[in-house]
Amino acid sequence: MRGTLTIAWKDFKSLVNSPLFFFLAGACCAIWSLNFLNLLGDFAQRQMFGAESSIHFTVFLSHLSTVNIILLFAIPALTMKLLAEEKKMRTYDLLLTAPITATDIVMGKFLAGYGAALLLLTISFLYPLATSLVSDFHFGPLLTSYFGLSLLLAIYVSVGLFSSSLTQSVMFSVILGVIFILGLWFMSQGINVSDNPTVQTLMQHISLGEQFSGFIRGSLRVSSVVFFVSTAVLFVFLTQRVVESSRWR
Amino acid sequence: MIEVQSLSKNYGDRPAVKNISFKVNKGEVVGFLGPNGAGKTTTMKIITGFMAPSQGEVRVAGFDVFENPLEVKSRIGYLPETPPVYGDMSVEDYLFFVARLRKVPGPQVATYVRDAIDKTNLGDVRKRMIQNLSKGFRQRVGLAQALVSKPEVLILDEPTVGLDPRQMAEIRQLIRQLRGHHTIVLSTHILPEVEASCQRVIIINQGQIVAEDSIEGLLRAQSASRRVDLRVKRPTAQLEAELKGLNGVLRVAAEANPGQYQLEIDNRDETVEQIAHRVVGGNMGLLQLHVQAMGLEDLFIHLVTSEHGGAQ
Ligand SMILES: Nc1ncnc2c1ncn2[C@@H]1O[C@H](COP(=O)(O)OP(=O)(O)O)[C@@H](O)[C@H]1O
Ligand SMILES: [Mg+2]
């Protein structure tokens, strides 16, 4: 446990102090600001013409979708170094010969990456939060959406970490990470390949989009939470197996 | 303290270490000597629990590396071939990190880090980023990292490789100061390192132990023979065979220069006398006859070249 926290804290600090993090945070800010102002402008115009619409399903939903798309690429870039760099710089030797377990190492790395990812998510939350100063709306669906997004990020981080454990090259790690995450998103496309209703239901259940839509509508489904958490745990577990198995080569 | 039993390691189907066994007692400083590719790093990685062996077992302080890896790892400080340092950390932050990673109790961490910095003379650069340090300093940070948790055992893999002579001397001095506080195993492919730092030496070649003794013991065993450098002006074709035939001459090697030979002989004066007699009597023009005791260098070359069909 102490090993986990030691690694988590050290890696979190070096992650958020890295030029890469500043670059990512800056890029996120720029894109989200432009996008959000645009959305808000459109919304205000429609309101002026008397159209009745909810700010949540227009402005916030679009914002969330942009946030998700950007983070989908940013998170693997954030996590790329976590294990790949240790292997390349031979600091892996230090971790693997310290009196800690592979689980300590992987959990520490996960927490560091997740912490940094949540910082980026917090930045994106500032936009709707600022809107609340000038407009009245129900916070409920916004909060469940962000809760859902934070679970989604746990998946992105664990998948990114897993990709990082497979290679010494950070470039390859990012590419793998993005491919895996896109794979998870598009897995539900398989829905059409079979007419079998059980297969269709199954595909619906393992689809990120399907599970995520509940959070956006403002409902907290236990099954969705369980699905997200267990997917993240699965990839952390796979990473742990990869780290553990490095001894046997 | 360290017991290695019938240890083997194959990379794929290529053997790197073949069935080696040795023991290191508490407080000893043991040199692990062998040419590049002999299997030193592989053996050390197995002892530290970084890698699993293909066969055999390793015990440290009575704990099996694979049944109780955490017990073993908490007793070992390890300096790999490349110092495992993070360039983006300061020396001090890095040592704090390693101390915590190695389970130094919270309240003692600061003291342990200070001691490690003092022992390795890193006081002046404690706040500097590691990536801005010279290779010699980086190696010292690597050493500080290995001893920051005050482990019973230190495993140092080629601690002076790639350093300039002055930095080398500094690191050797440091290692000598650590004697008595830790059980130390250090690997090297250069002989002076062993003579400078170790009490006992294990010579390994092509994955096998070819000799194991105290340095005095090895020299004593070697003093049964001596080396002779011989140079004559007009060598005859059969001189080499004649020298070989002399009583007490163990080995004759003709050197590239015509007329120059290197001989290994026993330590009787009569043998030298006979050689001189043969050369002078044959009117070959004796230019040089130099007799000297065999050093460790000769022994090392002898062991790694003759017994196992030549090293790379
Ligand atoms: N990861 C590896 N994969 C394949 N072969 C290796 C690996 N590491 C070392 N070897 C081989 O094993 C042998 C022993 O290597 P090593 O233990 O590094 O020797 P040393 O440290 O004595 O120079 C060498 O022939 C080397 O090429
Ligand atoms: Mg080596």
Does residue B276 belong to the interface with chain A, where contact is any CB pair within 8 Å?
A: no
Report residue B296's pLDDT band, with 50, 70 and 90 as the boundaries. low
Mapping DSSP onto H, E and C, the string for B113-169 reads HHHHHHHCCCHHHCCCEHHHCCHHHHHHHHHHHHHCCCCCEEEEECCCCCCCHHHHH
Name which residue leads in pLDDT, B312 or A175: A175
| B41 touches ligand 1 (CB under 6 Å) | yes
Average of pLDDT values for A192-199? 69
- CATH fold of B224-293: Alpha-Beta Plaits (3.30.70)
The DSSP symbol for B210 reads E
Which pLDDT value is given to residue A52? Answer: 66
Residues in chain A: 249
DSSP sequence for B43-81: HHHHHTTSS--SEEEEEETTEETTTSHHHHHTTEEEE-S
User: Which of B41, B50, B78 gets mutated to test ligand 1 (max ligand atoms within 8 A of its CB)?
Assistant: B41
If phi over 0 gives left and psi between -120 and 50 gives alpha, with beta otherwise, what is residue B180?
left
Asked if pLDDT for residue B311 goes beyond 70, the answer is no
**Closest residue (by CA) to atom 3 of ligand 1?**
B11
Asked if pLDDT for residue B147 goes beyond 90, the answer is yes
Which pLDDT value is given to residue A100? Answer: 95
| B279 touches ligand 1 (CB under 6 Å) | no
* Interchain CB distance below 8 Å, A96 and B50: yes
Which pLDDT value is given to residue A122? Answer: 95
| B44 touches ligand 1 (CB under 6 Å) | no
- The CA distance from B104 to B41, in Å, is 27
Which pLDDT value is given to residue B116? Answer: 95
Which pLDDT value is given to residue B305? Answer: 63
> Can you read off the two tokens belonging to residue B182?
């830790």
Ligand with an atom nearest the CA of residue B7: 1
Q: What is the pLDDT of residues B198-212, one digit of tens each?
A: 889 999 988 999 888
Which pLDDT value is given to residue B309? Answer: 40
- The CA distance from B161 to B158, in Å, is 6
Residue in chain A nearest B71 by alpha carbon: A99
Backbone CA torsion sign across A105, A110, A113, A119: negative
User: Which of B11, B44, B82 gets mutated to test ligand 1 (max ligand atoms within 8 A of its CB)?
Assistant: B11
Exposed, middle or buried by CB within 10 Å (0-12, 13-18, 19+), for B85? buried
Asked if pLDDT for residue B308 goes beyond 50, the answer is no
**In this complex, which of B50, B81, B98 lies closest to A247 when CB atoms are compared?**
B50
Backbone CA torsion sign across B228, B229, B235, B241: positive
* Interchain CB distance below 8 Å, B70 and A101: yes
User: Which of B14, B32, B194, B208 gets mutated to test ligand 1 (max ligand atoms within 8 A of its CB)?
Assistant: B14
CB A32 within 8 A of CB A66: yes
Which pLDDT value is given to residue B84? Answer: 96
Would strands B63-64 and B153-157 be described as parallel, antiparallel, or unpaired?
Answer: unpaired
- CATH fold of B2-220: Rossmann fold (3.40.50)
Which pLDDT value is given to residue A169? Answer: 93
- The CA distance from A224 to B181, in Å, is 57
In single-letter form, the type of residue at position B58 comes to V
CB B215 within 8 A of CB B209: no
**Closest residue (by CA) to atom 25 of ligand 1?**
B37
H-assigned helices in chain A = 2-16, 19-48, 55, 61-79, 81-88, 92-96, 102-131, 139-165, 170-186, 197-205, 208-216, 222-245
Q: What is the pLDDT of residues B170-182, one digit of tens each?
A: 888 888 889 888 9
Provide CB contacts within 8 A for B73, sequence distance 6+: A97, A98, A99, B48, B49
When divided into structural domains, chain A yields a total of 1
Name which residue leads in pLDDT, B283 or B216: B283
In single-letter form, the type of residue at position B200 comes to R
**What separation in Å is there between the alpha carbon of A136 and the centre of ligand 2?**
68
Which pLDDT value is given to residue B105? Answer: 94
Report residue B132's pLDDT band, with 50, 70 and 90 as the boundaries. very high
The DSSP symbol for B83 reads -
CB contacts, 8 Å: A99 with chain B:
69-71, 73-74, 102-103
> Can you read off the two tokens belonging to residue B253?
């090697």
> Can you read off the two tokens belonging to residue A93?
């030797």
Q: What is the pLDDT of residues A51-96, one digit of tens each?
A: 666 777 778 888 988 999 999 999 999 999 999 999 999 999 999 9
The pTM score is: 0.85
Name which residue leads in pLDDT, B271 or A229: A229
Q: Which helix (H) or strand (E) covers residue B232, if one does?
A: strand B225-232
Locate the domains of chain B by residue range. 2-220, 224-293
Which pLDDT value is given to residue A103? Answer: 95
* Interchain CB distance below 8 Å, B50 and A94: no
* Interchain CB distance below 8 Å, B101 and A92: no
**Which value, to the nearest 10 degrees, does the dihedral of the CA atoms of residues B44, B49, B55, B59 take?**
90
Distance (Å) from the C-alpha of residue A176 to the closest C-alpha of chain B? Answer: 25
CB B149 within 8 A of CB B132: no
Which pLDDT value is given to residue B77? Answer: 96
- The CA distance from A52 to A58, in Å, is 11
CB B179 within 8 A of CB B118: no
Which pLDDT value is given to residue B2? Answer: 94
Q: What is the pLDDT of residues B49-79, one digit of tens each?
A: 999 999 999 999 999 998 999 999 999 999 9
Q: What is the pLDDT of residues B119-130, one digit of tens each?
A: 999 999 999 999
In single-letter form, the type of residue at position B97 comes to F
Q: What is the pLDDT of residues A86-145, one digit of tens each?
A: 999 999 999 999 999 999 999 999 999 999 999 999 999 999 888 888 777 788 888 999
- The CA distance from B208 to B17, in Å, is 6
- The CA distance from A79 to A86, in Å, is 12
| Mean pLDDT, all residues of chain B | 88
Q: What is the pLDDT of residues A160-194, one digit of tens each?
A: 999 999 999 999 999 999 999 998 888 766 666 66
Asked if pLDDT for residue B35 goes beyond 90, the answer is no
CB contacts, 8 Å: B73 with chain A:
97-99
Which pLDDT value is given to residue A194? Answer: 65
Which domain covers residue A162, as residue numbers? 2-246
Name which residue leads in pLDDT, B9 or B257: B9
Of A233, A104, A53, A223, give the one whose Cα is nearest residue A157. Answer: A233
CB–CB contacts below 8 A, A to B: 67
